[in-house]
Amino acid sequence: MPSVSGRVVCVTGAGGFIASWMVKLLLEKGYTVRGTVRNPADDQKNFHLRELEGAKERLTLCKADLLDYGSLREAINGCDGVFHTASPVTDDPEQMVEPAVIGTRNVIIAASEAKVRRVVFTSSIGAVYMDPHRHPDQVVDETCWSDLDFCQNTKNWYCYGKAVAEKAAWEVAKEKEVDLVVVNPVLVLGPLLQPTVNASIVHILKYLTGVVKTYANSVQAYVHVRDVALAHILVYETPAASGRYLCAESVLHRGEVVEILSKFFPEYPIPTKCSDETKPRAKAYKFSNLKLKDLGLEFTSVKQCLYDTVRSLQEKGHLPLPTQNDESLRIHS
Ligand SMILES: NC(=O)c1ccc[n+]([C@@H]2O[C@H](COP(=O)([O-])OP(=O)(O)OC[C@H]3O[C@@H](n4cnc5c(N)ncnc54)[C@H](OP(=O)(O)O)[C@@H]3O)[C@@H](O)[C@H]2O)c1
């Protein structure tokens, strides 16, 4: 049963991987949702949103671009809350930085004009952990910020753009007295609602198609897309929520990822060799997800994340189905 009918919220970039899950869960909770998309007339791209339970009654798709303030103002006006998730996801500096930063400023200014109750901004671990000066034993948590010079020098324009956009969000929110809460997800996996494969899913897909022959000697933190969407709603609905929330389940070496994948899905040409066996194996960094756990979020295991991702890629036709009996694919936690 809807618990909060009557509350109107805006989700920017509604058709994206994470935002589609937010729209789905918000509709299930009874919210009325205004989703911004760049082209509401694109039926192929928006079909999955229009098919969500409750969409016919309570979802409106509004045309908006991050660089077009008027379009955002129109979508946000009359909303009680805003989930600002739209952002380019690329390492091309020209496509990344300006839309991420100007778009975020535009959304918060429009939210201030509309007097919304709270803005929840989807930042990233990229704004948190890119710091060469951090001691290996230091716990990565909400107090950490990526080093902007390091991001620039290493040409990590995605992390640079997300860090500068988050800084801009805090600055404008303070200036305009907007109640802002930020979620910083790590690499997000899980079932896709949208028809296309987004960047974080490619990270796993590449290990299953034979395009990569080795795995890197590096580590990565993971979280389930449903948990990321739930985290946004939780911080929106909890009046006492404030500041940043690191949204992470676990950190794995790439070697552990391919090992889990090949246990579940032995039919695929999953790499078995590390690209750099001369150096010591990279160690997982320590992190804290206590702030979200304290709000009641129970994280899905990374094994389940990997399993759900591959099953979804198969169901959506992005990966050929294995010929073997499906029984062998059942999760063993
Ligand atoms: N997936 C992850 O691992 C991960 C981890 C941490 C943080 N995040 C953050 O989560 C958010 C969503 O990421 P995602 O993985 O769901 O990516 P996604 O599927 O690529 O979604 C990005 C969304 O942003 C929209 N967008 C991009 N540029 C825009 C512009 N100029 N104007 C309006 N909309 C624009 C896209 O619209 P179109 O469909 O029209 O291009 C798309 O709906 C991003 O802020 C990303 O930085 C993602």
Percent of the chain with pLDDT over 70: 95
Query: pLDDT per residue over 137-186, tens digit each?
Result: 999 999 999 999 999 999 999 999 999 999 999 999 999 999 999 999 99
Query: pLDDT per residue over 10-24, tens digit each?
Result: 999 999 999 999 999
Pocket of ligand 1 (CB under 6 A): 13, 15-19, 38, 65-67, 85-89, 99, 122, 124, 162, 185, 187-188, 198, 200
Atom of ligand 1 nearest to the CA of 19: 16
Q: In what order do the strands lie in the sheet with 59-63?
A: 59-63, 32-37, 8-12, 81-84, 118-122, 180-185, 243-247
Confidence of residue 202 (pLDDT cuts 50, 70, 90): very high
Fold for 8-329, please state it.
Rossmann fold (3.40.50)
- 134 C-alpha to center of ligand 1: Å? 28
Which secondary-structure segment (H or E) carries 94? helix 93-113
| 234 within 8 A of 241, measured Cβ to Cβ | yes
Query: pLDDT per residue over 55-81, tens digit each?
Result: 999 999 999 999 999 999 999 999 999
Which secondary-structure segment (H or E) carries 170? helix 157-176
122: helix, strand or coil:
strand
Active-site position among 162, 174, 279, 286: 162
DSSP notation for 200-234: HHHHHHTTTSSS-SEE-S-EEEEEEHHHHHHHHHH
Known active-site residue 213: no
Confidence of residue 249 (pLDDT cuts 50, 70, 90): very high
Residue 232: its pLDDT value, please? 98
Residue 324: its pLDDT value, please? 52
Of 213, 197, 214, which Cα lies nearest the Cα of 205? 197
Mean pLDDT of 295-304: 98
Mean pLDDT of 214-243: 97
- 326 C-alpha to center of ligand 1: Å? 33
Q: In what order do the strands lie in the sheet with 219-224?
A: 187-189, 219-224, 250-253
> Where in the chain are the domains?
8-329
Query: pLDDT per residue over 104-124, tens digit each?
Result: 999 999 999 999 999 999 999
